[in-house]
Amino acid sequence: MKVISLLLFLAILTLGACGSTKSPLATAAEVTSTTTDTIPPGKDEKADKKEPPYKDYDKVITKDAISQAGMFAVHRVDDDYYFEIPFSELDTDVLLVSRIAKIPSEFGGGYVNAGSKTNEQVIHWERSNNNLLLRSVSYSNVADEALPINLSVQDNNYAPVIASFKIEAFGKDSTTAVIKVNDLFVTDVPALSGISKRLRKEYEVRSLDKDRSFISRMSSFPENVEVRHDMTYTAGKPPAGNRTGTISMQLSQSFYRLPEIPMQPRQYDERVGWFTVRQVDFSSEALKADEKRYIRRWRMEPTDAAAYARGELVEPKKPIVYYLDPATPEKFRKYFRQGIEDWQVAFEAAGFKNAIVAKDAPTPEEDPDWSAEDARYSTVRYVASTTRNAVGPSVSDPRSGEIIESDIIWYHNHLRSYRNRYLLETGAANPSARTLDTPEEEIGEMMRRVISHEVGHALGLPHNMKASYAYPTDSLRSATFTQKWGLASTIMDYTRYNYVAQPGDEGVRFVRMLGPYDTYAINWGYRVIPGAESAAAEKSTLNKWITNKADDPVYRFGGSGRFDPSSQTESVGDDPIKASTYGMKNLEIVANNLADWTTKDGENYDDLSELYGEMLSVWSRYAGHVTGNIGGIYEHLRTVDEPGQSYTFLNRGEQKAALEFLNENVFQFPGWLLPEAVANNVGPDGFVTRIRDLQSRQLGNLLRSDRLMRMVDNEARNGRDAYTAAEMMDALRKSIWSEVSRRAPVDAYRRNLQRAHVERLGKLLVDDAKKHSDVGTLARAELTAINKLAAGSARRYGPGIVRYHLEDVAAMTAAMLDPVGK
């Protein structure tokens, strides 16, 4: 009996061992659950048997599946979409970029376009038992993997899980996992969303409607996977003109394979403008975490390193190639090619020939698999859109700054912007600009330079608004100077047109072009430094290149500075007062001829109305450039080994002259801004209000609290050499209220400006109530003076609008000075 029992026990053990045999892909947890399952007595064994955790591949990816291989395979089976992730891709770096592909009208107030990037993050696919996890991985905080502190960096930067997916099946060769991804793209996942928190609040977005959200398509390529999905949200206040109570948009999600070995990064220096990636390095020997910034640039390696080291021009192993969108009008393609390849000269300065080239996209017959969405191909896309813009985005590796791919976007109606500004800013001195039918060659030249500008962004260069200040203003009236050097030292400035050139200045250049700063910046960012095997090893050479040019304004960098008048957008030349004087003289000529240049028999006045509105904006920019001098500080960034100072206040004379210009040309109504041929044809009324808005905008800009505080700071540091805020405000008041002081008539334009003056001072007073700074003190003093002047002068005028206006001003100022009526 004991022998029978022993044999039975051994048989049970053998059956149990055979029953626990698992696929090598099974996890320990799965093995445990299988080997411990038992069937309770009295139960039907078939009814309680668990379904296997995975299905057969052919039952998930059926014969009806539409599939595409690539970085990883994507499948569509009816309305279900699947990713097939290779196990070799697990825990590897993938860049996920979220963009808006299609956008509703007026979304974002005009500051969001189709193609706008909404998020960029590194992700990992990771297995957890029967699931694949999608994690967002940050490289913001890093440490050398060989150092103990790296353990702490990992523990304190735990990667969040974006989504979890049940593994539906394994690939036929057991090297891949199949997951269903519908929910990732039809659920309101913040990491993939196209609506920011601000816009959700503004539009009162309540929820995503899953029934009206769907995946549009998926595509897989060797280096990337693209997903398009439509999302529909319910909204209490959707964008203007939308009464549906919904916001629908199409989003694009791009998965990019990052290089297995990151490119050697190059450290950023704020004295040369570059887009950057940031990291906090805890490996630093300093007594703090070391913030590092690396410039964003393409991987540029010489095919012949020895020849390159000898100073010879060599071709790169992988040139930058831009393909032209087949939708680009044939007549414009040559200008797009020129705009791209204009950068070849700059790369030659860095030692590379044929580094950037333009090609036509292959036809379907030439390459049926070519797609602009393939990350191996960078493109210039021509978009049929009423948007007036062009953009030059790129995708970069956050570990090193390496740019992986780029798509320049040209929106069709951007032609209209350049046509209009060409007429308004150069028409006085440039006969060919005096028409709405701009000659094709000239509009092509403008397009060429816009493409160059956007390619510059895609190469890593931001705007450099200091470049226009590098050239003397009067040099822009010289044909020999402008044809050789252009309008600014870089194409990356917003110096679009030469509005300084006067009638009779023959042969001058009117449109921007690349300049010497462009070759300097590309050399600094792209030249390979032989023997420098790390970013730190390059630093001394890079610093030397900068210090060698430090005294030449042509090679300086400055973004759009809120306080630096030498870094202003849309300006030209090194003297804002002189440049704006020239500009306004030209604009007066344009104003007097605007009706003749923009109308045709048998047509209405829509074009005239549009151009007139834009003309007022041009005038406002010219005025604003001069305002920048007041309270201005020149910024010249330096390192401690360089002589000189980084920040210098404008001298007293420069600031005082700027206010005199504003008082004479801006705060006195310039009658030429309202030519009779315009006023009688573009609208029945509203001109007084338009002029008020123009002048009050400039007044508000002048009386900004930060500007006034800089003037207070200047006085504290430089005493009597400073142009003080009190002196400026006194001179401003005496100018704006000069008619009242001498009991002269005060017209409607002046009355509006005076009211705007009082309102602005009142706002300064309220805003400063908790700070109790000199700004509030100055505002109170000015309101007191105006109150006394208005109250004392009102009775000197007979009954009528001027007296009523002054009585109103007296009441307004009294209420501001004593808001509780004590």
Instruction: Compute the mean pLDDT over every residue in the chain, rounded to the nearest whole number.
Output: 88
Reported as a single tens digit per residue, the pLDDT across 486-505 is 999 999 999 999 999 999 99
Distances (CA, A) of 423 to 190, 207, 601: 45, 47, 20
Chain centroid to CA 805: 45
Tell me: pLDDT of 405 over 60.
Answer: yes
Top pLDDT among 150 and 604 is at 604
pTM for the model stands at 0.86
Q: What pLDDT, on a 0 to 100 scale, did the predictor assign at position 788?
A: 96
pLDDT confidence bin for 8, thresholds 50/70/90: very low
CA distance 331 to 572: 31
Query: Taking the alpha carbons of 494, 500, 501, 503 in that order, is the dihedral positive or negative?
Result: positive
pLDDT confidence bin for 103, thresholds 50/70/90: confident
Highest mean pLDDT among 28-32, 150-154, 751-755: 751-755
Tell me: pLDDT of 314 over 60.
Answer: yes
Residue among 570, 735, 576, 558 nearest 654 (CA)? 576
- Find the range with the poorest average confidence among 115-124, 606-615, 661-670: 115-124
Mean pLDDT of 528-555: 94
Tell me: pLDDT of 419 over 80.
Answer: yes
CA distance 235 to 245: 5
Q: What pLDDT, on a 0 to 100 scale, did the predictor assign at position 331?
A: 92
Tell me: pLDDT of 611 over 90.
Answer: yes
Q: What pLDDT, on a 0 to 100 scale, did the predictor assign at position 137?
A: 86
- Find the range with the poorest average confidence among 207-216, 374-383, 581-590, 720-729: 374-383
Tell me how crowded residue 557 is: count the other CB atoms within 10 A of its CB.
25
pLDDT confidence bin for 413, thresholds 50/70/90: confident
E strands present in 328-484: 356-360, 378-383, 390-391, 394-396, 402-411
pLDDT confidence bin for 244, thresholds 50/70/90: confident
The DSSP call for residue 118 is E
Q: What pLDDT, on a 0 to 100 scale, did the predictor assign at position 138?
A: 78
pLDDT confidence bin for 5, thresholds 50/70/90: very low
Highest mean pLDDT among 3-12, 385-394, 412-421: 412-421
Q: What pLDDT, on a 0 to 100 scale, did the predictor assign at position 501?
A: 98
Q: What pLDDT, on a 0 to 100 scale, did the predictor assign at position 619?
A: 97
Tell me: pLDDT of 342 over 90.
Answer: yes
pLDDT confidence bin for 533, thresholds 50/70/90: very high
Tell me: pLDDT of 110 over 80.
Answer: no
Percent of the chain with pLDDT over 70: 89
CA distance 318 to 298: 10
- Find the range with the poorest average confidence among 143-152, 156-165, 289-298: 143-152
pLDDT confidence bin for 526, thresholds 50/70/90: very high
Q: What pLDDT, on a 0 to 100 scale, did the predictor assign at position 16?
A: 40
Mean pLDDT of 773-777: 95
Q: What pLDDT, on a 0 to 100 scale, did the predictor assign at position 509?
A: 97
Residue among 356, 520, 386, 583 nearest 452 (CA)? 356
- Find the range with the poorest average confidence among 240-244, 410-414, 605-609, 751-755: 240-244
Tell me: pLDDT of 557 over 90.
Answer: yes
Top pLDDT among 3 and 663 is at 663
Mean pLDDT of 122-139: 91
The DSSP call for residue 326 is T
- Find the range with the poorest average confidence among 103-107, 529-533, 627-631: 103-107
Mean pLDDT of 348-364: 95
Q: What pLDDT, on a 0 to 100 scale, did the predictor assign at position 15?
A: 37
Tell me how crowded residue 98 is: count the other CB atoms within 10 A of its CB.
20
DSSP string covering 298-323: E---BS-HHHHHTT--B-BSS-EEEE
Amino acid at 125: W
Reported as a single tens digit per residue, the pLDDT across 28-71 is 233 233 333 333 444 444 445 566 788 999 999 999 999 999 99
Reported as a single tens digit per residue, the pLDDT across 715-727 is 999 988 999 999 9
Reported as a single tens digit per residue, the pLDDT across 315-335 is 999 999 999 988 889 999 999
